[in-house]
Structure formats: C-alpha cells, structure tokens
Structure 1
Amino acid sequence: MFFALTPLVLVSGCLALSGEYESRFADIDSISERIVCFNAVDLHIVDGGNPAGQPVVFIHGTPGSAEFFASYLLHPDLQDLRLMSLDRPGWGTSLARNQFDGTLAAQSAMLGEFLCGIKSANPSQQLLIVAHSYGATLTPLLVMDYPQCISAVLLLAGAAG
C-alpha cells in the first residue's frame, strides 16, 4: 500500500533532488536515491542492498546525513539486506518546505509513518533500525510510538535529548 501511494505523493508536491545537490552515490549502480513527502518535509532516502531483503533503516545524528552510513550501504557482507539510510527531517537533503516542528515528537511522527509503510509492505520481515548520536536519542521514542512497526534497534552513542 505504501509503495503504491508513493508515486501519487511524489507528484503532488515533493521537490526533486536539487541540481545543486551532488550525490556521493551518483556513479554507484547498486544505490538509488528518492524523496518521500511527509507533511512539511521532503524526506531524502538512500536505498541499497537487496530490495526483497530484511529492511534495515539507518538514522543519523546531529549534525549528519544519510551519507554517514555510506560504507554500510556498500558493504559486500550486507547486500542480502534491504538497506535504507535517510536524512532526518531538516538535515542533509531532507528539506523543510515550510517552517516545521523539529522536536523529537514531530520527527517521530514523520519517520514513524515512513517506517510503518516499510513494515506494512514487508509484514513477514522484521524491521531493524540502526541509529547513531541524536538518531539514537530519537529511536526509543519511535519504538514507543510505533511498536507494531519496529522489530529491533541498535543504538550507537546516543546523545541526551
């Protein structure tokens, strides 16, 4: 359902990746990038690995971007997994179209919708989140808000919220 709606959402107001944006992954065939709209934010997502594999979502800290986890997206031992690294709302190439609420609760709501879409598209697979720094501060709230969507987490060097 989530992926069936994605093209409609993209047509209805998401921004394309800016011409000023220089992707670290442009010349890598196994990596793709996309923008998904959530309320006031165009969420930048970098995909790698096996699209049919167990989903693993990487959430960066502050400051940071999806590129923080580039070595994992490209690591040969992880290519059986579906690997997704995202720019948290307001960071990297995830652009706020208007002023938006950057609190942990608001980020949880935006990312939770995205994560539940992944889980509903892959109900038999466990969704793993790997989060670093402020992403590791956000992730426990995501788990509390969306326990039906998140199967496991790995928190790395969490920061105080």
Structure 2
Amino acid sequence: MSDLISNPVPALPLHDLDGFTHRWVDAGGVHLHAVEGGQPKGPAVVLLAGFPQNWRAWEKVMPGLTDRFHVIAIDLPGQGHSERPDDGYDTHTVAANVHAAVAEIGVHEYWLVAHDIGAWVAFSLALNYQSQLRGLVLLDAGIPGITLPETVPTDPARAHKTWHFAFHLVPDLPEILLAGREREYAHWFLTAKTFAPGTFDETDFDHYAAALATDGGLRASLAYYRAAHESARKNHQALSRQRLTFPVLGISSSHGSIPDMAASINPWADNITGLTIPDAGHFIPDEQPEAVAAALTTFMANGRNTPETCSGGR
C-alpha cells in the first residue's frame, strides 16, 4: 500500500498547505512525494516544478484550483521529499516514474502542468503517455533538444538566464564549490531570475537551500542537467514517430528565459496556443499565482485557445 511508504527525506521539515495532504507512492521503484487536495472526483491536474524548487513552487497557485480540480503536486526524484536515487535522471526515465506515481494515486487521465525542469519531464511524459493526458501546459523552460538554445549567450544581459547549464554539467566541481553555500546559491537563483520584488522571503530561501543540502539533494538536482544530452536524444527519437496532438499551452512571461514558449514548441504540436503573463520573470507561479491559476482554469475548462496575454496580479 502506498500510504504505508515512509518519508525518504525525514531530515527535511515538511511544509503543510491548508486543504492538502502529503503522501508517498511507489513510482516504479522510486518513492515519490505528492501533495494532494481539491476535488477527488474532479478532473485531475498534476503539477511539476524545477530547479532549485520542489512542489512548493505551486503552493500559491494550488488553492486557486481546488474548487474545480483534483490537484496533485509531485516532487520529482531528487526534489523535496522524494527519494534521491543514484541514477535514472534522464527525462524519459523520470517521466515513467511520475506517470507511475499518478497511476498509483488512482488517476488514469490528467492535465499536466510544469515549469523549468518539471517541463523537461512533462514534455517527455507527453510523448510517451499521450493517450492518458488531457492536455499539457509548459511554463518558461529550456527543454533539452526542444526549446533549449544550443549555445550559452555571452551578452551579460542574457547570459545570467542560462549560464548555469554549462556549470551544472561539469562533474563534481559544482558540488565542491557549493557545499555549505546552498543557501547563497538558491538565493541568487530566486532573486536574479524574478521580476517582482519580494516574491521570495527568508523562509523560502531556507527551505530550498535545506532541500538541496539534505541527503544528496544537490547531486540529484544537478543530475538532470548531466543527463540533458540523453534526454534530448530520446526526445528526438520519440518525435521521429509522433507529434503532440492534444491541447498544449505555452506560458511565457514578460521577463522570463524563453521569450515565446508556444513558438518554440509549435514544430512538434498540432494544437498549441501561447500566453504571456506580464510583470513576471522566470518563476511565474510564485510571481503571479493568481494569473497562472486563472490561465490554467480557463485552459483546462475549455481545452482550447486562451487569450495571448493574461493580466498580472498578486
């Protein structure tokens, strides 16, 4: 029984969200953490986060979805309170873990919404389990082989958005340099890549730094970047056989990393629309949660085109 699985990262304090419960499930041999709430019989929406975050990236958005949807936020392998395996971080392997976790929870058809590395995993999951997805939403993500630029820009005004890809790829050195400095590193990401001042507070910095520092969290987080080449190879292998045919929404922001998510994904999708949220940087769900919740609700309720811009709001 999945409910009997214990927390694999007990040293990291749990954060509770009103109306939601924590659970751990066996996801193809990896124990993943899920935070679940909303309408048990409503349409399911699965939320995935990226670096250096975990499910808490969605905590301001989740309450805005509970009136209509069965909401499930999942920590990827190596994130938050999920198990940190030694290997298996290419996005197709992780996608299989996430899909297995959703099935173990008892959900067999769902909307998939993902940001940053979560979107890497979500794109691969969509290629492999298309028949079980209602639709896909991808937020500001350089997906390997899809939306990720081939080269890191040298212009300082743009380089700060993608420089870390090359750094994280280097074996061992990032761990050596960042050990004991996880808080400074998380702080830099969460402030340099946001547009809205004060989006994150000291509690946020402490939590994300602790998640990286606990039980190999940093090593596991970097493993996604080190497997990016294999993820890109498997993406293109899958795309040689199919395209995405269900509704896809690409969400960009006024000051994000990928100027137009929809245009970047368009070559591989038959039914895609784009939406830009103003007054936000890379961490859109944290910076403009009400606008994100409204956009998701409209898209999932209609399963078709949404406006190309969405008004901001905090």
Is TM more than 0.5 here?
A: yes
Letter of the 1:46 partner, please give it. V
Secondary structure of the residue that 1:151 maps to in structure 2? strand
Q: Does 1:70 align with 2:59?
A: yes
Identify, as 1 or 2, the structure richer in helix.
2
Size of the alignment, in residue pairs? 144
Cα deviations by residue, 1:84-105 (Å, 9 ceiling, x for unpaired) = 1010111111113x52311112
Any idea what SS the aligned residue of 1:64 has? coil
Q: CA deviation at 1:79?
A: 2.2
TM-score (norm 2): 0.42
1:85 is paired with a residue whose SS is strand
- Could you say which residue in structure 2 is the equivalent of 1:109? 96
Residues 1:22 and 2:22 aligned together: no
| CA RMSD across the alignment | 2.2
Q: Percent identity?
A: 21
The corresponding residue for 1:159 is 142
User: Is there any run of 5+ residues in structure 2 with no aligned partner, and where?
Assistant: 145-314
Q: 1:154 to 1:100 in 2, by over 3 A?
A: same
1:53-99 per-position Cα deviation (integer Å, ceiling 9, x unaligned): 11000011122101110112222x54221011010111111113x52
In structure 2, C-alpha distance between the alignment counterparts of 1:19 and 1:90, rounded to whole Å: 14
Query: Per-residue CA shift, 1:19-61, capped at 9, x if unaligned?
Result: 43322216x2x11000001244210000121111110000111
- TM-score normalized by the length of structure 1: 0.78
Q: 1:3 — aligned with what?
A: none
Task: Tell me what 2:110 maps to.
Answer: 127
User: 1:46·1:86 contact (CA, 8 Å) conserved in 2?
Assistant: yes
Instruction: After TM superposition, give the deviation of residue 160 of structure 1 in Å.
Output: 3.3
Higher relative contact order (CA 8 A, sep 6+): 1
The runs of at least 4 consecutive aligned structure 1 residues that moved more than 4 Å come to: none
Gaps of 5+ in 1: 1-6
| Residues 105-151 of structure 1: per-residue CA shift (max 9 Å, x gap) | 21011112233456xx456xx51111001111221210111112111
Q: Is the 8 A contact 1:49 1:80 kept in 2?
A: yes
